[in-house]
Structure 1
Amino acid sequence: MKYSVLDLAPVPEGADAATALRNTGELARHAEALGYHRYWLAEHHNMKGIASAATAVLIGHVAGLTQRIRVGAGGIMLPNHAPLAVAEQFGTLATLYPGRIDLGLGRAPGGDMAVMRALRLRQDAGDRFPDDVAELMGYFGPEMPGAVVSAHPGQGTNVPLWMLGSSLYGAQVAAHFGLPYAFASHFAPAALEQAAEIYRQKFQPSDHLQKPHFMLAVNVFAADTDAKGVRLRSSMQQAFYRLRTGQPGQLPRPVDRIEDVIPAANLGAVNEALRITAVGSPATVRRQLTELIARHQPDEVILTGQIHDHAARMRSFEIAAGAMRNLDTGLVA
């Protein structure tokens, strides 16, 4: 099974964006050496703890630092951009790095109402999403005779499109267009089972894809022992809690007891949102990944994990790659 990386270029407490971007480059090269198939970066805005706001720019940087791994967006929030501009950006990337660029599309703005105003977005910007997807697909296909507007670069590059989602809406759009579908189960698993079922049942074969292709997103916090893995996870738990309570910031340092920093009334909700997670020693992570894959039957897995210490993050993805290479195939089958 192919396994990939989703990176938000986290900015750890005590560091800055330059450090985060340098860490992303190092992790991308490490992931390529470890056999990861894709390296995706996500669009978020107005967040001090995330340095991947200019996603297409960072994708170009990562593609230039690597040689074989596919690099792409997980994803570009399409309502924030004109389809032509996205086609030109990713057409340029695909021309520079042929056969290596992916474009995942999301419908959310990647920020709050203040961000939407700063991006000059109308509140109904997402209502045109299916039409915008269709327009974008046209820009990547063969140039149409008589077309008034074409994407150059872009036309004829056939950049592979993915649909992203955390609800049933994305599943239906992906099925309608016959596109592969990546579900944001790493932070919004409530609709995971239903979304996967709708996508598979309603999928319409297309020139892009003949049968459904479903990607499961999983948080991984792997270390030499279970206790160390649990401690690594505490940074993301804190970050998620702070975001949900209107206190976003840089990625917090880990703590020994998460109960000391997140109120009991909130911790259950945080852990439920982050329940699609493998955490602990190599053996524990392998077992948990095997169980998640056996339950949800994805065609592909994308791994993420916001870890404060860069060396520990590199090690976590190394352990995770070993686990994916050595899944308990009997249980998965």
Structure 2
Amino acid sequence: MKLSILDQSPISSGKTPQEALNATIELAKRADELGYTRYWVAEHHDLSGLASPAPDIMLGLIGSQTKRIRIGAGAVLLPHYKPYNVAERYNMLATLYPGRVDLGVGRAPGGSAEVTMALSDNFLEQVRKMPESLTELLTFLDHDLDFPSDHMYSKITPEPVPQHPPEVWQLGTSEKSAISAAEKGIPYAFGHFMTDKDGPGIVKKYRENSTAKHEGKAIISVSVICAETTEEAEELALSNLLWKVQQEVGGGKDGVPTVEEAKAYDFSNKEKETIQDLRNNTIIGNPAEVKKQLEELEDLYGTDEFMIVTITHSYEARRKSYELIAEEFGFTKL
């Protein structure tokens, strides 16, 4: 099984955005040492407690401080941008870090309606044009594709042109995104931790319709919190679950709460129901328990790569979670 990391650069209560971003860089370095396959950085805009609106800036830093791990965006929210600009930026990263760059694309706004208006004009229209924009992006990036000779972009190139172009992935949680990835012939990353939809069915639909040479390569993104004991993992998870509950009602602006704050919090019955729903999409436990549940998901989805997102108040506990998982799976360290 291949394991990768999705980092949303969470800000813990009492910490600064700078500390959160530095923790992302340090975790990427450790993931590289531990033998993880990929390290993707998410894009969010003015969302409480999340520090990274610009994955490409972070990837430039991460790439310079890692050696072998693939680095990528999870995801560039394409409706906010012109495809040519995205192609330039990720071609530049792929030139700096040959054979190591992934470019995940998505269609979500990544923030509030007000932020969406501040970022881009007529976002909904750009979402509608997403298939055309994705085709345009793929054409700019793929050495084997060209615009027709009479196309307005036929004479331009997103320099620098790397020897190994970025690998483009489509991210999503719906059958629509799966079909889009299949039709474009690109790999698909499904956000299991973000939805209660029929993930295995959606990924199966992707594979059945895929035109890709790689026969429908898919990654499943899962929320995991691992500690040396089940009890410790449960405690660590509680602060993350509380934070998600707070975010759903517009709170959580102080960042991920401490374990102590979470244990002292008086959950309402409705919040307890929400917590239970969130737990259904989260793997929590000691290393052996985590491995068992990931292997069960491997059988369910029929895929051999999972992208793990772990959010805890303590950056040290987050790092330890990934270390324990790598050790349990017997990864080869640098």
TM, length-normalised to structure 2:
0.91
Taking a change above 3 Å as real, the CA distance of residues 227 and 68 of structure 1, as seen in their structure-2 partners, is same
What is the root-mean-square deviation of aligned Cα atoms in Å? 2.0
- 1:192 Cα offset (Å): 1.0
The one-character-per-residue Cα deviations of 1:188-224 (angstroms, maximum 9, x if unpaired) are 132312211211111123xxx3301121111111111
SS in 1 for 2:193: coil
CA contact (8 A) 2:242 2:262 kept: no
- Partner AA of 2:201 in structure 1: Q
- Partner of 1:111, secondary structure, is coil
- Which structure 2 segments of 5+ residues have no match? none
Q: 1:180 to 1:299 in 2, by over 3 A?
A: farther
Within a 5 Å distance, the mapping from 1:181-196 to structure 2 comes to: 181-196=188-203
Q: Is the CA contact 2:239–2:261 (under 8 Å) kept in the aligned structure 1?
A: no
Aligned partners of 1:237 and 1:271 also within 8 Å: no
The residue identity in structure 2 corresponding to 1:160 is E
Written as runs of structure 1 = structure 2, the 5 A alignment for 1:126-165 is 126-142=127-143, 144=146, 146=149, 147-154=154-161, 157-165=164-172
**Within-5 A mapping of 1:186-225:** 186-205=193-212, 209-225=213-229
The SS at the match of 1:293 is: helix
C-alpha deviation, 1:144, in angstroms: 4.0
Render the CA deviation track for 1:54-90: whole Å, top value 9, x for unaligned. Answer: 1110011111111111000111110011101100100
Q: Is the 8 A contact 2:98 2:162 kept in 1?
A: no
- The match for 1:240 is 244
Output one character per residue of 1:71-123: Cα deviation in whole Å (capped at 9) or x when no partner: 00111110011101100100110011111110001011111211111102313
Work out the number of aligned pairs and report it: 323
The residue that corresponds to 1:124 in the other structure is: 125
Task: Give the secondary-structure state (helix, strand or coil) at the position aligned to 2:129.
Answer: helix
Amino acid in the other structure paired with 1:134: T
Change (3 A) 1:277 1:135: same
Does structure 1 conserve the Cα–Cα contact (< 8 Å) formed by 2:72 and 2:101? yes
Contact 2:2–2:37 (Cα < 8 Å) also in 1: yes
AA in 2 matched with 1:279 = I
Q: Distance in 1 between matches of 2:14 and 2:89?
A: 33
Matched, 1:178 2:185: yes
* Aligned mates of 1:187, 1:255 — CA distance in 2: 26
Alignment of 1:1-333 (within 5 A): 1-122=1-122, 123-142=124-143, 144=146, 146=149, 147-154=154-161, 157-205=164-212, 209-249=213-253, 250-255=255-260, 260-325=265-330
C-alpha distance in structure 2 between counterparts of 1:50 and 1:256, whole Å: 19
- Higher mean C-alpha displacement, 291-300 vs 179-188: 291-300
Whose relative contact order is higher, 1 or 2, with alpha carbons under 8 Å and at least 6 apart?
A: 2
| TM-score scaled by length of structure 1 | 0.91
The CA distance in 2 between the partners of 1:262 and 1:202, in whole Å, is: 44
**Does the aligned pair in 2 maintain the 1:12–1:20 contact within 8 Å?**
yes
- Note the C-alpha offset of 1:154: 4.2
